[in-house]
Amino acid sequence: MNKDLLCKNFVKRKEIFADAVNFILYDGENRILPSNLKELDPNQNLILEDFKIEKHRDVFNQVTLMEGDDEKYLLFGIENQSYIDYGMIVRCMTYDLLSYNNQIEELRKKNKNDKINNGKDYLSGIKKDQKLKPVITLVIYFGPDEWDGPRYFHDMLDMKDVVKPLIPNYELKLISPYDLTNSELNKFNTELYNVLKYIKVSKSLDKNNLYKMIDEDNWVLETDTIKLINEITNSNLKISDVKGGRQNMCELLKVALEDAEKQGIEKGIEKGIEKATKENIISLYENGVSLELLAKSFKMSEEEIKIIIANK
């Protein structure tokens, strides 16, 4: 399974999606539950007279927000990025625009079926007091590097200061491991925490220190979560293919460390043998053994023997 699909399937898990929403809306407070989410069609389109604009979101949910007894709805999309897209702001703006346009079209269809004949309502297709559901698009960057792309729409524009107040400055809503402090990471309450933390430290810590970090927290994770971490960070973990199961990340990383150590020892032995062979060839040649005999004895060509002697 490729990296993008692993990311998408991970965020589609309701508890992961709700965790991300809580981080953005409520500073990590566990207010939105998986039961407050309703999956929506990720396809967004705008049909004009001569052409059709069509976009496909990664994950899109309706979120039920409760303020006392007051129930409101929010349309929330998450886009997963395994690379830095310098046009991401415009992509998100497009998703949001299409979501608002779809709501307008749905209201127009409903009002047409209800046979609204009030002048202004009839012409616009919607009633004055009809409201739209707000739309938020969040980007989760599954990479260890700093997101160096634009975070505000104005950063993409070549314009004079006099124009700035007239152009809405859309902000990119972004979760990037590089930006997260330890206190911010601790605001996540699901395996999203483990994924983001591992990505964040994967470039700065060697595998021995990664093992110590994971061992202290006792990381026992869903198999698919470990596969995602493995794919993103190239950790070379030997994962048992258990669908729906959980595995101990500490044990997997320990095996990877032992394998790496074994390979290092084997490479060291090979280098040692290679060095000893070269030293023997040089010593025998200096003691009068011919190139022809050396080539036969060490199963090499005379040209290879000459190169070893020349580079002594």
CB atoms within 10 A of CB 83: 10
Of 17, 20, 24, nearest to 40 by C-alpha is 17
Matching residue, tokens 């009633």: 127
pLDDT at 265: 41
Mean pLDDT by 10 residues, the chain (312 residues): 88 97 96 96 74 85 88 96 95 94 90 72 79 97 95 96 95 96 95 93 70 70 89 80 73 64 47 64 80 81 83 76
In one-letter notation, the amino acid at residue 213 is M
CB atoms within 10 A of CB 275: 10
Which tokens belong to 204?
Answer: 């700065």
pLDDT at 120: 67
pTM here is 0.78
CB atoms within 10 A of CB 304: 14
Buried b (16+ CB within 10 A) or exposed e, 117-144: eeeeeeeebbeeeeeeeebbbbbbbbbb
User: CB of 282 within 8 A of CB of 308?
Assistant: yes
Calpha distance 279→273 (Å, rounded): 10
Strands 59-67 and 70-81 come out as antiparallel
What DSSP character marks residue 186?
Answer: T
